[in-house]
Amino acid sequence: MNMCAGFFVTGTDTGVGKTFVSCLLLNALAKQRKTVVGMKPIAAGRENGQWMDVELLRAASTVDVDVKLINPYALDSPIAPHIAARQQAIEINLEKINKAFQEISTKADYVVVEGVGGFLVPVNECQDTSDLARLLNLPIILVVGMRLGCINHALLTMRVIQHTGFSPAGWVANCIDPDFLALDENIVTLKQRLVCPLMGIVPFQAEPDNCGLSELIDISVLL
């Protein structure tokens, strides 16, 4: 089964650093002299008139693409996307997203697509993020937010990813809780139980250095 050149980034939950890790991945690919574009098909939550996830991905991209392609659905409220869309009398159409992705994929070597919320969050009345991943047919990278409960969340998410028929490309341990106890032991447990390689451990930084931290992402398992 042929796949377009790109990756689909999902997470164990909302707020685990999908955008952050997507930007690190874009930076790491760019350092390999690849042209890259970050895509956020559905953004929920506007801040000071901007959708910050979209702006961060655009800043990490090396190719300038129309924002309407990068972000076909920009929703105002920071809530579940199907509810936010309903509030604005919008129905999210995955085919529209797929068409935007196909156009973007002609403009860069790699497209990094960031999902919304967790892997099963609804996007409309009958589809969820897993349906979007299946439609785009990209290798999946799982971001695990390292905090209490992360083992269960990671294993459940990985089981669902496998159930959709994907072989996950890799996972990233994102240290979002500076006070998380037994971090090393949790990472060892996940390395033993997750069915794909650990691509990197991203330490907690109050003000992250994206360029420097991208060195911690091992993209050799992807290329």
pLDDT digits (tens, 9 = 90+) for 162-184: 998 888 999 999 999 999 999 99
| pLDDT value of position 3 | 46
| pLDDT value of position 74 | 97
Q: What percent of the chain has pLDDT over 70?
A: 98
Considering Cα of 163, then 166, then 171, then 174, what sign does the dihedral take? negative
| pLDDT value of position 2 | 37
- 6-147+154-221, CATH topology level: Rossmann fold (3.40.50)
Catalytic residue among 34, 40, 68, 99: 40
Nearest to 109 by CA among 172, 48, 182, 31: 31
Render pLDDT for 179-197 as a digit per residue (tens, 0 to 9).
999 999 999 999 999 999 9
pLDDT confidence band for 1 (50 / 70 / 90) = very low
| pLDDT value of position 223 | 79
| pLDDT value of position 172 | 98
| pLDDT value of position 94 | 98
Catalytic residue status for 31: no
Nearest to 174 by CA among 196, 143, 207: 143
Residue 161 forms beta bridges with which residues? none
Q: Where are the domains of the chain?
A: 6-147+154-221
Q: What percent of the chain has pLDDT over 90?
A: 89
Torsion of CA 208, 213, 43, 3, to 10 degrees: 180
Render pLDDT for 85-122 as a digit per residue (tens, 0 to 9).
999 999 999 999 999 999 999 999 999 999 999 999 99
